[in-house]
Structure 1
Amino acid sequence: MQKILIAGTLFLGAILTFFRAEAQKKDELYTKKYSYQHLSAYQKKLFNTFIENEVPQNKGVEAALTDNISLRSMTRVAQSLLFRNANGDKENAVVILEWILKNQYQDETSKLYGIWKTSVANDRFDQNWREFIGCDLIIIRERFRHLLPSSLVKNIDAGLIHAAKGALARNVGADYTNISIMSAFLMEYVGTTFGLESLKKAGIAKAHEIFNLYKSHKTFSEYNSPTYYGVTLIGLALWRELAPSKEIQTIGGNLEKEFWHEIANLYNPDLKNIPGPHFRGYGMDMTRYFAITGIWIALALDDEHLSPLPPANAPKYGEVSNLSTILNLGLSIPKDDLKALKSFSKPHSIIRNVPNKYKGDSIKLATTVINKDWMMGGLWGNKRVWEQIKAGTIHWKATNGEVAWLAILGDGNTNVKVSQQAMFIYTSSAVAYQLEILVYSPETDEKVFAKQDWTLSGMKLHTRTTLKLIKTEKINHQDADKKYAIADDIPFFYKVVYEVPANWNLNQPLLEITPEK
C-alpha cells in the first residue's frame, strides 16, 4: 500500500509540473454551479423543452417508456426531473429509474455483462452504454439519492458494480477518448465507493494512460469531433467534480482547462462552427444539427443570439439529453476562452500531430486555417474508410447568411492538407478510385461544377486539376445522414465525382482548391 501511495504522489507531482509548464495568463477560470431555480430564461427554455419533448405533460411517464425509447435518454430524463424537482418530478423519476435498472445484462459470463439495453426492442448491444448510463447514475446517486427510496439506491449500486466490472473486462483503450475517460471514472468511483480494490486500481491506471497519451502531443485521439468533444468535456468534468481521489480531480480539472483552450482556438464565433478536419463528425454545420460541443458552448455563452444551437426540431435532438448531465457537473472554463467563444479575434492557423490508431499513420497530421468569414482544414495519414471522418473541409458564410461548406470524407485513399491560401488533395494509394467532393451552397446550380472556377453562394472556389469529372449529382436530406454522416437540416447538397487513375504520382496533388471570398 505504501508503494502505491508513493507512486501516486510521484505521478501527481509529474502532472502538476506538466500543467505548470503549460500554464498561461488565460488560465483564470470562470466557474458556474447550476440549480434549476437560478437558470436563465434561455437555459430554462432549453431544459424544459427537452423534458416536455420526452415526457409530454398530457401523458403519464409510463407512456414514455416504450420499447423503442432510448434508455440513455430516459436516464437523463430522470436526472432532469430530479434536478428540477417540481411537483410530481421525483415520483416520475423513480418510475423511470426502476424501469432502467431492469434492463441491464447481468450475466458475468457474457460479453454484454454490465451494459444496459439501448432500447428494449431492437437493442444494438452497445458496449458504451455501461459508461453512458453508469456515469449518469453516479450523478443521480451523488446529487439526489436523498430524494430516492433506499431500495432504489441499493439497486443503483448493484447496477453500477455490474457496469464497472464489465468495463474492466472490456478494457477500452485510451485512444477511444470519450469512452475511456468515462470508463476510468466509472471504475475508480465504483471501486472506491464499494471497496473493490481491483476496480479502483484499474480506473486510476486508465486515467494515467489517458493523461500520458494526451501529454505526448497535447491533444486527444478523437481530435476535433463536434459531438464527441462534448462527451470528453463531460468525462473530464466528472473527474473534476466526482472522482474520489484528489489525484484524478487534479488531472481532470487541468485537462479540462487545456481542452477548453483547444476548443476556443478552433471555434469560429462568426460562423458558429468548428473547422475540420473532423476525426468524427455527424454533420457539417452545428447550427443545423445538435452537437454536444455546441450544447456546452450555448450554456457557457448563455445568449440565444450567440448560441450555435439549431431549432428544437433539428436533427440529432436527442443529444440535448446531455444538458442535464452538464448542468449537474457545472461549468469551469478559462475566462479568456469564454471571451474567445463570443467574438472572433484574428485569423490564425493550427498544425496538430494527433496520436490515433485508425488505419494509416500512427501520428496523423491535421492542418487548419481560420479566417473571420471562412475556414478550412485537412487530414493527412488516414487510411480508414469511414464517413464520420471529414478529411477535408471548407466552411464559409453564404450570401443569405447561412453556413455553406465543402467536405471530403474519409475514403481511405485521400490525403488533404491546407495552407493559408489553398487546399491540396493527394492520393495515398496506387489504386484507381473515385474522388468525391460534397458541397452545400444555397441557390447554386450544379452546372457551376463543370468549370474550373466554382462560383458559389458567397464564395468562389478556384480549382486546378487534370482529373476527369465523371458526374455531379444531388444528394437529398434523407440519404445524407445514413450514407455520408451529414445530419444537417438542409434540402440537399451536391456530390462532385472525379476519376482518379491508378499509379498517380503520390507527390503530385490530384486537385487544388483556392478560396476567394
Structure 2
Amino acid sequence: MHESNDAFDAELVRLARIAGDQAYDPAVGLIAQQAKYNPIHTRVWTGLGHPHRESVVYALVLLESGDGADLALAEEILLRVLAAQDTDDASPTYGIWSYYHEEPLDQMVPPDWNWADFIGRELAFILFRHEARLTEPARLAVRTALGHAARSIIRRNVAMSYTNIAAKGTFVTLAAGQLLKDDELTEYAVRRVGRLQEQIRTAGSFAEYNSAGYWTITLEAIAAIVQYIDDPEAVSGARWIVDRLWDHFVARWHSRTGQLSGPMARVYTDEPARGPDLLALLAKASGFRGGFAELPALKPTLGLLGVALVNVEAPLVERLLDSPTGELRERFSYVDPGEGRDPVPVIGTTWHGRDATLGSANVGEFWLQRRPVIGYWREPGDPAWGPARFVKLHVMKDDHDFSSAVFVSAQSGSQVLWSVSFVSPGGDEHIGLHQIEAGQSFAVSSLRLVLELAGADDATVEVAGRPVTEGPVGIGEQFRVSTRGVDVVGSVDSVSFGDRRPELRVERTADRILLVVELLSDGPTELTMRDISPVEVTGTLSLFEGVDRPEVAVPSVTLYDGDVQAHWVTTDGTQLRLVAPARVTTKTEHPAGVRATVDGDPVIADGLAR
C-alpha cells in the first residue's frame, strides 16, 4: 500500500532505473535488448539489438533518479541517439529514427514514422523537467531534435482515428511549440486538439477501442497536455478527452476478473490488462483503493516511467473498484462501405456477470491485434489478479492469425451468434502492410478457425452430450466445456469453403482446449480467395456462470443468394438474427452486407462522446 502518489512515483522511477541499468550496454553506450520477431518495419529479428527509443527512456530515467555522473551518462546516450535522427527535411523519413542502432532507416521495411511521436514525447519530458540541468550542447541537441520530430509529425498529419498516435503527436507538437516558442507549431497543435475532439464526437468513441496498452499511451499523452501545456484552449480540449477516455475504459473494466472486457481493437496478448504500466496507472488513479491496494509485484520495466511523469485520477473510481453487472452497447466508430452508402457503425456489446464477462463486435477482423469476440472468467477461490482464463475465436493461416478473415455477430447477454468469412483484397499476417491483392494466389499449408479456451485445465469437455478428450465433432454438435465456475458452450452450425469438406475436431494441449474447424489442411497449395464460393463459418458462443447447465437451442442456418442467414433463440428467449455475406467480398462490401437484429430491432448504440 502506497501512502502517496509521490512515493509511488518514486518507486516507479526506481523500478525503471533497475530495468535500464540491467539492460545498458556500456560497450555501445545504449540499451541492449534481445531482438524478437516483428512482421513489420524491422528485420532485426534475432540476436542483440540496441533500440533507440528505450535508450532515450533510459536517459530520462537517469535524469529523474541520478546525480552528476548520471547526468553525464544521460547526455552521452542522448547525443548518440539524436545523431541517428534523419534531419534532412527533403527526406521521406525526415524527423524519425530507426528502431535499432544496427539498422539504418533505409534498411527498414518500411520505417516507422511513429518514432517521431514516441521519441519526441521523451524529448519533450526531458526539456520540461530537466532542461536547466543539461549542458549547452546537449540542450541544443535535444531542442533541435524535438523540432525535427514535431515537423515530421505535422508533415505526416496522421488521421485522428489513429487514436494513440493522434494523441501522442498532439502532445509532442504542443510541447515543441511551447518549448521552442514556435507559434506555427502551437497553432497547428491547438487545432489538432480540436480535430481529435471532433473525431471522438463524430465516431462516438475511440477507433482503437478497448485497447489496454494503447489506452494507457493515449491517456498518458492527453494527461501530459493538461499538466505541462500552458495554452488554455488546448488544456480545455484535453480535459474533455481525458473524461471520454475514462468513460470508455471504466465501462468495460471488469473488477472481479481484473480484465478489460472485449471486444478489442488493438492488443498484443490475450490478457492486455495485466500490463505493468496499465496496472500502475490504475492504482495511482484509484488512490490505491480496492484491488489496486495490493497489485501483483511490479517487475522492473522502463515503461513504468511514463506513469510516474503524469498526474492521473479516475473520475468514476467506484465503477473501477466494483464493476456493475449487466449489458453495455457502445458505438466505437464507423466503417465506410463506399459507393455512397451510409457508414456502418462499429458497435461493441459487452456482458458483465459477477465472475465472468463476454464481449463482441458487430463487425470486425481477425488480425493478430484484434479480439472481435473474447470472454474472461474467474474460478471459485481464484486470488485477486489470479490466472488468466479466457475464451476467444480466431482464424489461423499456417502459424499466424489471418487478417483477411472477417467477423460479424449479434449478442444478447452472455450469448453470441456469429459468422466468419473472408475479404479480398485483404491482409495476410499484417492487416495493412501484408496485402494479398484481388485475384492473387498465395501459398498456404493450413487454414483453420479456432475456438480457444485457456485456464480450463481441469474442465470436462462434452460434444453432443458425450464426454471427450479429443476427437471429431459434427457440424451442429454442441461443444461444452464445464469448469467449477462456468459453462462455455459453442457450436459450429454451418461451414462452407468452396468444394472442400472442412473437418471439425476437439484438441487438448497442456494449457488449452480447442475446437478446430479445418478449412484447409492438405497443403502446401496455392489458394486464390476470389475462387472460393460459398465461404462462411457460422455458429454460437455462450458463457454461463454458476453450476447450472442450461440447455442451449440449436440455431437455424441457411445459405441463400450468396448470404448466410442465421436465427437463434437464446436461453432467455431473446431472438438473434444475422445475415452476412457467405462469399468473398471486399472490405467495404462486407460490412455493408451485414444485418443483425435483437428481438427484431437492429443492433444500434450511442457513443460515449456526449
TM-score by length of 1: 0.78
The equivalent of 2:208 in structure 1 is 222
* 3-state SS in 1 of match to 2:186: helix
* CA displacement at 1:412 relative to structure 2: 2.9
How many Å apart are 1:112 and its aligned residue? 1.2
**Could you say which residue in structure 1 is the equivalent of 2:595?**
none
Note the C-alpha offset of 1:250.
0.8
The 2-side partners of 1:195 and 1:86 are apart by 29
Is residue 438 from structure 1 mapped to residue 417 from structure 2 by the alignment? no
Given candidates 499, 513, 516, the residue that maps to 1:497 is 516
Confirm or deny: 8 A CA contact 2:374 2:393 kept in the other structure. Answer: yes
Candidates 394, 411, 417, aligned match of 1:418: 411
Q: Is the Cα contact below 8 Å between 1:350 and 1:369 reproduced in 2?
A: yes
Classify the secondary structure of the residue corresponding to 1:94. helix
Q: Which residue of 1 aligns with 2:195?
A: 209
| Shift of residue 261, structure 1, vs aligned partner | 2.4
Amino acid at match of 1:417: A
Q: Is the 8 A contact 1:275 1:375 kept in 2?
A: yes
Name the CA shift for 1:130/1:52 in 2 (closer, same or farther; >3 Å). Answer: same
Match of 2:542 in 1: 513
Are residues 422 and 469 of structure 1, via their aligned partners in 2, closer, same or farther at CA, if it must alter by over 3 Å?
A: farther
The one-letter code of the counterpart of 2:482 is T
User: Over residues 240-291 of structure 1, what are the superposed CA-to-partner deviations in whole Å (9 max), with x where a residue is unaligned?
Assistant: 122342101111122112311221221112111101000011112246x526
Counterpart position of 2:493: 466
Cα 1:308–1:275 change in 2 (3 A) is farther
1:110 paired residue number: 91
Shift of residue 457 of structure 1? 5.7
The one-letter code of the counterpart of 2:358 is: M
Aligned residue number for residue 317 of structure 2: 338
Aligned residues: 454
CA distance change for structure 1 residues 305 and 135 in 2, over 3 Å: closer, same or farther? Answer: same
Of 388, 391, 395, 1:406 maps to 391
Equivalent of 1:355, from 324, 333, 339? Answer: 333
Query: Could you say which structure has the higher helix fraction?
Result: 1
Task: Report the more deviating stretch, 123-132 or 137-146.
Answer: 123-132
In structure 2, how many angstroms separate the alpha carbons of the residues matched to 1:215 and 1:129? 27
Structural mapping, 1:92-491, within 5 Å: 92-122=73-103, 124=108, 125-286=111-272, 290=275, 292-301=277-286, 302=288, 306=292, 320-334=301-315, 337-344=316-323, 346-356=324-334, 362-382=344-364, 384-398=365-379, 401=382, 402-409=387-394, 412-427=405-420, 434-444=448-458, 447=468, 452-456=479-483, 458-467=485-494, 470-473=504-507
What SS does structure 1 have at the residue aligned with 2:259?
coil
Change in 2 beyond 3 A, CA 1:496/1:310? farther
Distance 2:533 2:294 in 1: 43
Structure 1 equivalent of residue 16 of structure 2: 50
Distance 1:57 1:435 in 2: 40
2:56 corresponds to 1:75 = yes
Secondary structure of the residue aligned to 1:423 is: strand
SS where residue 350 of structure 2 aligns?
Answer: strand
SS of residue matched to 1:413: strand
**How far apart, in 1, do the equivalents of 2:172 and 2:94 lie?**
15
Structure 1 residues 455 and 268, CA, compared in 2 at 3 Å: closer, same or farther?
same
Matches within 5 A, 1:20-59: 38-40=6-8, 44-56=10-22
Deviations 1:123-182 (A, max 9, x none): 653211101110111111011112211221111111011111111111110000110112
Alpha-carbon separation, structure 2, partners of 1:78 and 1:72: 10
**AA paired with 1:262?**
H
User: Structure 1 pair 172/44, CA: closer, same or farther in 2 (3 Å)?
Assistant: same
More strand by share: 2
Match of 1:329, SS?
coil
- Label 1:109 to 1:65 Cα distance change in 2 as closer, same or farther (>3 A): same
Taking the aligned partners of 2:452 and 2:126, their CA distance within structure 1 comes to: 43
- Bigger drift between 450-459 and 173-182 goes to 450-459
CA distance in 1, matches of 2:147, 2:282: 33
Question: How far apart are 1:186 and its partner, in Å?
Answer: 2.1
Kept in 1: contact 2:16–2:305 (CA 8 A): no
Which one is further off, 446-455 or 414-423? Answer: 446-455
Give SS of 1:114's match. Answer: coil
In 1, Cα distance between equivalents of 2:219 and 2:174 = 18
Larger radius of gyration: 2
**1:131–1:163 contact (8 Å) kept in structure 2:** yes
Mapped contact 2:17–2:65 kept (Cα < 8 A): no
CA separation of 1:225 and 1:368: change in aligned 2, threshold 3 A: same
2:21 maps to a residue whose letter is: V
CA distance 1:44–1:139, change in 2 (3 Å)? closer
Query: Aligned in 2, Cα 1:341/1:91: closer, same or farther, shift over 3 Å?
Result: farther
Cα pair distance change 1:184/1:254, threshold 3 Å: same
Query: Is the 1:462–1:516 contact (alpha carbons within 8 Å) kept by the matching residues of 2?
Result: no
1:364 aligns to what SS in structure 2?
strand
Point out where structure 1 has 5 or more consecutive residues left out of the alignment: 1-31, 476-490
CA–CA separation in structure 2 for the residues paired with 1:281 and 1:330:
25
8 Å CA contact 2:453, 2:513 repeated in 1: yes
CA contact (8 A) 2:262 2:359 kept: yes
Distance 1:94 1:261, change over 3 A: same
Question: Which amino acid letter does the alignment assign opposite residue 511 of structure 1?
Answer: T
1:328–1:366 Cα change, 3 Å? same
* Residue aligning to 1:483: none
SS in 2 for 1:418: strand
CA contact (8 A) 2:29 2:77 kept: no
